[in-house]
């Protein structure tokens, strides 16, 4: 039988490793605020989690990395679109999700998620249980650097192998798109959903590979860009582009929808939101400017490797 019990300790260990790396990169922060939580008895959704968040650091304006393990009596609609035969089955879902919003506009925002969802038709983990895995990581720059995009994508490819990268990279481009604007959220990475090929062991190995690769994908970019001087105008561009991030998370992100539909903990679900954000009406940047280049060159899906 699948070793469901092995998933939780690995996810908690991943959360701690990444949090320690954020503190190392930030330098000015001494600790994360750690908020363990439990769903109250009687709630539709049962479970627990640990939300870790750093705010007002020297490098990271906001960095949230959360673990959750929830159980419910009925899979929500967002989880059964590919598995209609499991509609109504009791389920559990556990994962680590993070979003880091740096202060310097030359350091990109980053997102990682690794998760397992399991349906238990009998009401408990047994031979009838069905598990599937999902996740990935993607990069959202405010100013484009080919070196950063290429390095990030190479790490993603090496983590999952060329064959899966050839599937997950276009999947990421397709998913992280603000369709109401016909605009990509960032330069992509990898994204996969409803992965069950090879059974439980293969799926669990896949999310471990992705989670273990994250620090090597992101930390070098932070270290390259964090000391870059920036102007107030560049900071305002960052806040404007953060508005696109908020739009995607609230309008299109299935993880956000799953959490809210299943009665999850709202404060933890929305840890991905930036602390400051702005919108401008029909902003137009001149051709040839770095801001124009971001939209018309870097945010166009391409083979970065």
Residues taking part in catalysis: 111
128-165 CB burial, b ≥16 within 10 A, e <16? ebbbbbbbbbbbbbbbbbeebbebbbebbbebbeeebb
Select from 54, 53, 51 the least CA-distant residue to 69.
Answer: 51
CA 62 – CA 274 distance, rounded (Å): 7
Tokens representing 119 are 């349906």
Distance CA 192, CA 171 (A): 7
* Antiparallel, parallel or unpaired: β 177-178 and 46-55: unpaired
72 touches 45 (CB < 8 A): yes
CA distance 35 to 283: 39
């Amino acid at each position: 039988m699948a070793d469901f019990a092995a998933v939780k300790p690995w996810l908690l260990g991943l959360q701690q490793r990444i949090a320690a790396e954020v503190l190392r990169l930030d330098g000015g922060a001494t600790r994360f605020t750690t908020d363990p939580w439990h769903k109250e008895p009687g709630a539709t959704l049962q479970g627990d989690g640990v939300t870790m968040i750093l705010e007002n650091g020297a490098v990271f304006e906001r960095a949230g990395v959360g673990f959750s393990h929830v159980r419910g009596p009925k899979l929500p609609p967002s989880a059964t679109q590919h598995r209609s035969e499991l509609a109504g089955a009791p389920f559990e879902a556990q994962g680590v999700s993070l979003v880091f919003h740096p202060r310097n506009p030359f350091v990109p925002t980053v997102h990682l998620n690794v998760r397992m969802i399991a349906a238990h038709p009998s009401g408990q983990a047994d031979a009838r249980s069905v598990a599937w895995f999902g996740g990935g990581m993607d990069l959202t720059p405010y100013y484009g650097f080919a070196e950063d995009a290429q390095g990030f994508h190479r790490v993603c490819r090496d983590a999952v192998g060329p064959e899966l990268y050839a599937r997950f990279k276009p999947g990421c481009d397709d998913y992280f798109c603000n369709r109401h604007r016909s605009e990509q959220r960032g330069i992509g990475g990898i994204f996969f959903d409803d992965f069950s090929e090879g059974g439980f062991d293969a799926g669990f190995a896949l999310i471990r590979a992705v989670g273990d690769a994250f620090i090597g994908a992101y930390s070098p970019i932070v270290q390259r860009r964090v000391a870059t001087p920036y102007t107030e105008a560049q900071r305002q561009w960052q806040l404007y582009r953060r508005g696109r991030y908020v739009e995607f998370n609230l309008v299109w992100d299935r993880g956000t929808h799953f959490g809210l539909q299943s009665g999850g903990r709202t404060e933890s679900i929305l840890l991905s939101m930036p602390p400051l954000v702005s919108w401008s009406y029909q902003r137009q940047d001149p051709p040839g400017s770095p801001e124009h280049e971001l939209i018309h060159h870097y945010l166009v899906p391409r083979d970065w490797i």
